[in-house]
A and B are shown apart, each in its own frame.
Chain A
Amino acid sequence: MKVLEIKNLSKNYGNIKAVNDLSLSIEKGCVFGILGPNGSGKTTTLGMILGIIKKDAGDYKWFGDSSNKNHRKKIGAILETPNFYPYMNAENNLKIISQIKGTGNQDYESILKRVNLWDRRSSKFRSYSLGMKQRLAIGATLVGNPEVVIFDEPTNGLDPQGIAEIRNILTSIADEGKTVIMASHILDEVEKVCSHVAIIKNGNLLATGAIGSFAKNKFIEINSTNRSNLKEDLNNMEGVTIIKEQNAFIQCEVSDTYNIEDFSRYLTSKNHVITHLLMQKRSLEEEFLEIVK
C-alpha cells in the first residue's frame, strides 16, 4: 500500500526552482530517506506535503486520499527545528499535541522515558539543551501512535553522543513497522537508518530506490604473498578491473553478480596464498557522489 504519492510537485521562489516537477511514492512500512545537500529542496518538499508551504503545481496524496483534511493527524512530524512553547514543560507540550490530534490523554510517561526525558519532564522547554529539544521533538512525533513519522535533519547540530542517541531511537521506531520519512544531508545517517532513498539536488529528483539498488558493482580488496604476480594475474581475469594499488592490498571492481569463489579458486590455482580478501558493496556515499556529479 502506498502511504504517500507525490506527482509533479513544484515550488518556485521567484526565479529559483526550489522543487521541480518532483514525483515519488512511498510504500507502507519502509524507512525512506530523502537525501540531498543543503538547499536542495528537502524541507520545501516536506513543507508542501505537510500543508504549510503552498505548492505551485502538482499534487500529493496521503493514504491514497487527497481530499481528507485530517490526514496530518495520522502523521507525526517535525520540520527543521523542534517547535514548542518555551514556557511550558515537556509533558504539557505533549498534551497540546494530543489535544490537536484529538487522541485523548496519552501515555506520556512511556514516550518521555523512551526519549530519555522523563527525569526532566517538569522543566520548561526553554531550559533544554539542543539534544534534549531534538529528543522531545522525536517524542512528540510518537503522540497518538501515528502510522507515519517524518523527521527533518534530526541530528543537525548535535554532538556525537547526541547523534548516537537519536539514531538509536530512530532505529527502534523503524523496527516497530512504522513508515518513517527522513530528510538528511548526511549520507552515513541515511545509510544506517533507511531502507529506501531518494536523492535530490537543486529541486530535482536524481534517483530513487532501495538502498544499494543503485550499486551495479562491488569492490574486492585483495593481497597475497606473491604480490609481484598478483597484479598481472588480476589483469588477466575477465570482469575484473584494478582501481587502485596500495601497500596493503589491491582494490578491484567487479560486477554485482561476480562469483567470489571462482575468483579465489583462480588465484589459488596460480599459487597465490591470499593474505587479505575483502568484498564490499559500493557505499551510499560513493553512489551519491556518482549520481550528483
Chain B
Amino acid sequence: MIKLLTLEWNKFKDNSVVRLLFFIYLFIFPILMLIFKDDNVIPQTPFFDPKDIFRYPGIWEWLGYIGNWMVYFILGFLIVYIISIEVTYKTMRQNIITGLTRTDYFISKFAIVIFFSITATLYYAIVGYLLGFLSDEQYTISEVFANNYAIPRFFLMCVGYLSFAMFIGFLIKNSGLAVLVYLAYGIMLEPIIRLWGHQKLFEGNSHNYYPLNAIEDLMPMPLPNEGMKDTIGFLSHQHAAITSILFIGVFVFLTYYIFKRRDI
C-alpha cells in the first residue's frame, strides 16, 4: 500500500494541475471562514448570534460545511482528474503492461482517496482547533472536542465524495466528460432526479437517501436549532452515516468490478 502510494506520489508530484488545486485547497479552506467575520454576511437574529460561528461547537459545523463544498469541488475534482488523465495519457494501460496487476492499480487509486481523506480531515481538525484557539474565549479540552462526532463525520464525508469521484473517473474513459459528469451529477442531476422525479412519485422522505445528498448531510448547512432539520429535510447524522457507508461500499465495489473486467 505504501509502495503504491509512493508510486502515485512520483507520478503526480510534478503535475501542475494537482499542485495548484492542492495549494488552493490549503489556502481557501481557512480563508473562507474569515468571510463570516464580516457581520453583514450573516445578520444577527433572535435565534442566532453570528459570533457562534467562531465559538465551539459552532466552529466545527461551519468549518465542516465549508469543507463540504471544498472537498466536493476541489478534492473530488482532483480525484477524477488523477484517474481519468491516466486513461487519456494511456499511462494506465502502460502501467498494467509494465507489470502492475489491475488490483494493484485499483488499490493505488483507492489509496489516494483514503490519503486525501485523512489529510483533509487532519487539516480540518487543525484549522478548527487553531480558529478556536485564536478567539478570545477560554475552553476546556472537552468543550473543544464536544463536537457531536464532527471529525469522523468529516472523514466519512471525504471518503464518500472521493469514492464517488473515483467511480466516475474509472467509469468514464474521457477525462473532460468525466469531470463534467462528476460536477453535473452533484450540482444538477441528483437534485433534479430527487426533487422533480422521486419526490413526485413516492410519498415520504425516501428521496433524501440518494448518495450525494446523504454524504452532504454528514456535514450539512449549520442551522440555528436541531428542530429545523426535519422541516428542511436533512437526514440525521446516523441515517446520513449509514447511507453514506452503504454507498461508499457500492462505489468501491462497482469500480473494482468494472475495472477488473473490461479492456483498457
Contacts and interface: CB of A to CB of B under 8 A. Distances in A.
B44 interface: no
A120 interface: no
Interface stretch (B3-11, B52-60, B123-131): B3-11
A52 B11 contact: no
B96 A92 contact: no
B16 interface: yes
A50 interface: yes
Contact of A54 (B89, B94, B101, B262): B262
A72 B99 CA distance: 5
B91 A100 contact: no
A286 B158 CA distance: 64
A266 interface: no
B91 A83 contact: yes
Interface stretch (A73-81, A184-192, A275-283): A73-81
Interface string A42-58: 00000100111110000
A293 interface: no
Contacts of A92: 10, 14
A70 B100 CA distance: 8
A84 interface: yes
Given A52-B97, A88-B14, A81 B90 contact: yes
A77 B91 contact: no
B264 interface: yes
Secondary structure of the A contact surface, majority rule: loop
Interface residues of B, number: 24
**Size range of the chain A interface in the assembly:** 20 to 34
Contact of A50 (B97, B102, B262): B97
A97 B98 contact: yes
Contact of A84 (B91, B99, B261): B91
Interface string B155-197: 0000000000000000000000000000000000000000000
A146 B98 CA distance: 11
Contact of B6 (A50, A51, A78, A99): A99
Given A72-B97, A81-B90, A52 B264 contact: yes
A73 B96 CA distance: 10
B91 A52 contact: no
A101 interface: yes
Contacts of B102: 51
Given A87-B14, A87-B15, A92-B10, A100 B99 contact: yes
Contacts of B7: 96, 99-100
Contacts of B230: none
B86 to A, nearest CB: 9
19 contacts: A47-B263, A50-B96, A50-B97, A52-B96, A52-B97, A52-B264, A69-B101, A75-B99, A77-B97, A77-B98, A81-B90, A83-B90, A83-B94, A84-B91, A85-B15, A86-B89, A95-B10, A96-B11, A101-B98
Given A83-B93, A86-B89, A92-B10, 15 more contacts: A51-B97, A51-B102, A52-B93, A52-B263, A52-B264, A53-B263, A54-B261, A54-B262, A79-B97, A87-B14, A87-B15, A88-B14, A92-B14, A97-B98, A100-B95
Interface of A: 47, 50-54, 69-70, 72-73, 75, 77-79, 81, 83-88, 92, 95-97, 99-102
Nearest 5 Cβ contacts at the A-B interface:
A73-B99, A83-B94, A83-B90, A72-B99, A100-B98
